[in-house]
Structure 1
Amino acid sequence: MDFAYTAEAGLAGLFLASFLSATLLPGGSEAVLFAVIKLHPEQTLPALLLATLGNTLGGMTTYAMGRLLPQHLAPEKSALARRRGPPILLLAWAPIIGDALCAAAGWLRLAPLPCALWMATGKAARYVLVAAGAGMV
């Protein structure tokens, strides 16, 4: 059986890798994005959009898991959440702390829509930098 790498297969794999790497599972969606846009430069914009969407949905899954934690265990809005709120999720892309920030935002019951928007903004910026490194932006 021959397997032909197509742009569609690459985009589907990129979405899946982006989603899974934003949950508590380890993964590196940046390498997948880099490979997809190097092999199919005409797919740079769809790749950026799908990677951002998948990674944001994965982050919001972690947010939702944080909301499952008992509310009575949550601090009365920590100082960081009080001072920074959803904009702290610009750092949701960062290794190690990103997953913790997403889970904490859910646990602290920060509003989901602003959390998703700030999260998507940070993740999109990171992916644009990866695309720029590939010479595509």
Structure 2
Amino acid sequence: MVALYGAVFISAFLAATILPVSSEAVLAGLVVSGRGDPWLLLLLATVGNTLGSVVNWVLGRGIDGLRKRRWFSISADRYEQACRTFRRFGQWTLLFAWLPVVGDALTLAAGAARVNLGVFVALVATGKAARYAVIVAGGLWATA
């Protein structure tokens, strides 16, 4: 059972970094199969995904030195788009850090913009928890 919970946490953590990993399938699969407590899975996915975004925030603090690295997977165009969006709408965009394509770039932009870490975590965790709650609810509904 610990391995299942670890799998959700690790997949959620990696999914929030600049690595191309999907945690939604892992979470939904476990909920639909009835393996594990759905609310504990929700908590672990949210915490793991939020911590992964904190890694992006830290990377964003040193973004100028990282953007030229070959392993850095966020294109210059995507990063610039996220910066424009972030400047236009401010830290509230972090509620949408769960979005595919731009979410990682938003968390990097937040680090580059030196958003307070406490505010960052609160907003990112709220958005990610809401997304995972929808996945868990959908999984529970599908098995009812």
Q: TM-score, normalised by structure 2?
A: 0.79
Q: CA RMSD in A?
A: 2.1
1:123-134 matches, cutoff 5 A:
123-134=128-139
What is the letter of the counterpart of residue 108 of structure 1?
A
Partners in 2 of 1:17 and 1:34 — Cα distance? Answer: 12
Instruction: Pick the aligned partner of 1:22 from 13, 16, 25.
Output: 16
Give, in angstroms, the shift of residue 105 of structure 1: 0.3
Per the alignment, residue 9 of structure 1 pairs with: 3
Give, in angstroms, the shift of residue 39 of structure 1: 2.7
SS in 2 for 1:135: helix
Give, in angstroms, the shift of residue 9 of structure 1: 1.2
Matched, 1:99 2:104: yes
List runs of 5+ in structure 2 lacking aligned partners.
Answer: 65-82
Q: Could you list the per-position Cα deviations for residues 19-62 of structure 1 after superposition, in whole angstroms to 9, with x for gaps in the alignment?
A: 00100001110010011222335510110000000000001100
Matched, 1:33 2:31: no
Partners in 2 of 1:43 and 1:56 — Cα distance? Answer: 20
Higher Rg of the two aligned structures = 1
Give, in angstroms, the shift of residue 12 of structure 1: 0.4
Partners in 2 of 1:79 and 1:13 — Cα distance? Answer: 35
Give, in angstroms, the shift of residue 133 of structure 1: 1.2
Aligned length: 125
Q: TM-score, normalised by structure 1?
A: 0.82
Partners in 2 of 1:81 and 1:131 — Cα distance? Answer: 29
Task: State the percentage of identical aligned residues.
Answer: 41
Per the alignment, residue 58 of structure 1 pairs with: 52
Per the alignment, residue 75 of structure 1 pairs with: none
Partners in 2 of 1:79 and 1:99 — Cα distance? Answer: 14
Partners in 2 of 1:86 and 1:127 — Cα distance? Answer: 21
